[in-house]
Structure 1
């Protein structure tokens, strides 16, 4: 069966900012979908903030194996009831890939339980993402590093819980470093945070970045939706 991906995008910058519209005329979500739809064994649909229920209805979520999330200026507009549904779905086994400024999304902060704050700077920094877990499935097909000629800088300290794995660590020309590719597990759900992707840069046309996102989708897709059988339990032995 194909991995069912839903790409969620705030889709505000592309409609309100001419510089962003020039880079992503159809939206960041469509740029990602255009690539992923060409990947064997993956099917995609998209959802945006201004759709009813932000496009994340019960039916959509129940038919999503991996949810990709990009947001920036309107985190506060995401309805708490939708966040709760996504949160429960992740715990049940749906994968979540949080991209770039989605570190400040309600859903990522709820899953992390921390502020998820960081340092940042928009100054056309060169970014070099060093692969620090080369044997992890998300790093497959990538060399020692990925180099982006211009990106927004994110710097440490990044207020997240200890990741299961740090797959990429970025260095910027201003001297900062950042844990740019981190994985987490919440109950049945697998989460991948991937830093690159500021809206004014063509990062989501970079083949290596897109390959990492594809790898992330394949890694985060549920293999087995386990029932943990919580609650009162009878003894296995005579007591």
Structure 2
């Protein structure tokens, strides 16, 4: 079965900024989905902030294997109940790929449990992304490094938890460096943060960026879903692996649910 991928786009800059609209006349989300389309193992759909329930209904997420998230100007407009819904699906095993300014998105900060802050500069600098983990599946088919002629600078420190793996480190013309490809696992869900993608530059028209995204979707996909990870069942005495007798005072009885 192909990997069901949902590309979420904020779809704000495309409507308000001519440069962004010229770069992405059908929207950034649709261009990202186009980059994924050359992989027959991926079926990509798109949705936006403006759609009902931000396009992230219970049904939509249940039919999503990997969610790709790009946001910037309207992080605060994403409803908290939708953020919790997405976090639940990640814990169950849905993959999540967070792009560029999505580092400040509610869902990324929720799952990281940290400020996710950084230094930045918008000066159209050359970015050189070094592959620091060439054996990683996300780096499959990549050269030792690749360059983007114009990008926004992100600089360390990046206040995120220590990642499982660092796949890319970026160098910018101004001299800063940044951990640009980080992997995490939350519950059963695989998470990848990928730095490039400033909206005033044609980053999502770049073939190598497309290869990274396709590799990332294949890596983030988890065929096994674990909804049981969210449960906290009260196991009765008669279901214990070894025979025991109840003794001592108790707060709960039988199969009574615990406090949450």
TM > 0.5 between the two?
A: yes
Unpaired stretches in structure 2, ≥5 consecutive residues: 245-260
C-alpha deviation, 1:37, in angstroms: 2.1
Match of 1:128 in 2: 128
Structure 1 segment 24-173 matched on structure 2, within 5 A: 24-173=24-173
- Cα distance in 1 for partners of 2:61, 2:224 equals 17
- Cα distance in 1 for partners of 2:209, 2:185 equals 22
Match of 2:177 in 1: 177
C-alpha deviation, 1:38, in angstroms: 2.5
C-alpha deviation, 1:230, in angstroms: 4.4
C-alpha deviation, 1:134, in angstroms: 0.7
Unpaired stretches in structure 1, ≥5 consecutive residues: none
SS at match of 1:20: helix
- Cα distance in 2 for partners of 1:160, 1:110 equals 11
- Cα distance in 1 for partners of 2:20, 2:164 equals 34
C-alpha deviation, 1:235, in angstroms: 4.4
C-alpha deviation, 1:57, in angstroms: 1.0
C-alpha deviation, 1:55, in angstroms: 1.0
How many aligned residue pairs are there? Answer: 239
For residues 8-54 of structure 1, give each alpha carbon's deviation from its aligned partner in whole angstroms, at most 9, with x where no partner exists: 00001011000110101111111011121221111111110111111
- Cα distance in 2 for partners of 1:45, 1:223 equals 19
- Cα distance in 1 for partners of 2:105, 2:140 equals 28
For residues 119-176 of structure 1, give each alpha carbon's deviation from its aligned partner in whole angstroms, at most 9, with x where no partner exists: 0000111100000111110000001011111100000000000000000000001010
Which moves more between the two structures, 54-63 or 223-232? 223-232
For residues 50-80 of structure 1, give each alpha carbon's deviation from its aligned partner in whole angstroms, at most 9, with x where no partner exists: 1111111111100000000000000000010
Which moves more between the two structures, 36-45 or 219-228? 219-228
C-alpha deviation, 1:180, in angstroms: 0.2
SS at match of 1:197: coil
C-alpha deviation, 1:231, in angstroms: 3.8
Query: Scaled by the length of structure 2, what TM-score is found?
Result: 0.89
Query: Scaled by the length of structure 1, what TM-score is found?
Result: 0.97
Find the structure with the greater CA-based Rg.
2
Match of 1:15 in 2: 15
- Cα distance in 2 for partners of 1:16, 1:165 equals 37
SS at match of 1:222: coil
C-alpha deviation, 1:97, in angstroms: 0.2
Q: What RMSD in Å do the two structures reach over aligned CA positions?
A: 1.2
- Cα distance in 2 for partners of 1:105, 1:147 equals 26
